[in-house]
A = this chain, B = another copy of it.
Amino acid sequence: MSEEISMRPIGWVESCFGEKFGTPRQSGIVPEARGRVVFSDEVPSGASRGLEEFSHIWIVFLFDQVKEEEVRWFVRPPRLGGNQKKGVLATRSPFRPNRIGLSLVALESVSEGALEVSGLDLVEGTPVLDIKPYLPYAESLREADGGFAREAPEPLKVEFCDGAKVGLSDETLALITRVLAIDPRPAFHNDEERIYGCQLAGVNVKWQVKGGRVLVLSQESLSSSQNIV
């Protein structure tokens, strides 16, 4: 009965999220988060023909930054403050059997061998197992009960220190603001002095969370390796 199933990526994600920390925990809540699905050479040209008619798509992906043997059958969801245990199948935790993830993203455009998307919650290099069109008639269930995850997380207020915005485009500023507002810190962290850092759209961002608001301390472009604070 327990036969092995073999799969291969059909493509990979190029993302504004350079590392796991800082990557949103759900798709769609950071509309500014852009990226691409780039298909492997094995996918023939035209395999996504017709997809351009749809506004949203499912990315079925592999949580490849979790090791296969790292299944945690019981997890503490961040949105419950990290102090309540749930079965992994009742959560969207990456530490799950078979490590399959589902992301629902807006489809911006379809080009030869790639899809441009937004509302992404996937880290650079994520292996893609499948792409499917989103079917609102079957998959938009307004009346559904989202249990302990009924609403999107309440955003924090985000402020920038003097000079911490210098050199940022409006787009990158909007991305940083929205990503930090949903508080990427682990649920059990509550040290107001601790400085966090993550990479967003090629920028190294440093921030603290004080009195329930985010304070961006500095940012530095990774490509130029030049501190612009």
A-to-B contact residues, CB < 8 Å: 1-10, 12, 26-29, 40, 42-44, 46-51, 53-56, 58, 60, 62, 68, 73-74, 85-92, 96-98, 100, 102, 104, 127, 129-152
Give bound CA distance, A41 to B128, whole Å.
29
Tell me whether A87 and B50 are in contact (CB under 8 A): yes
Tell me whether B4 and A104 are in contact (CB under 8 A): no
Tell me whether B2 and A40 are in contact (CB under 8 A): yes
Tell me whether B141 and A136 are in contact (CB under 8 A): yes
Give bound CA distance, A133 to B86, whole Å.
12
Per a CB cutoff under 8 Å, which of B6, B49, B129, B146 touches A137?
A: B146
- A95 to chain B minimum Cβ distance, whole angstroms, is 12
Residues in B with CB closer than 8 Å to A85 are: 49
Per a CB cutoff under 8 Å, which of B135, B145, B146, B148 touches A146?
A: B135
- Residue from the set A44, A47, A127 with the largest chain B CB neighbour count within 10 Å: A47
What are 16 A-B contacts defined by CB distance under 8 Å? Answer: A1-B9, A5-B129, A6-B68, A7-B7, A43-B73, A47-B88, A48-B87, A50-B87, A51-B89, A54-B90, A55-B147, A60-B60, A60-B98, A97-B130, A104-B139, A133-B147
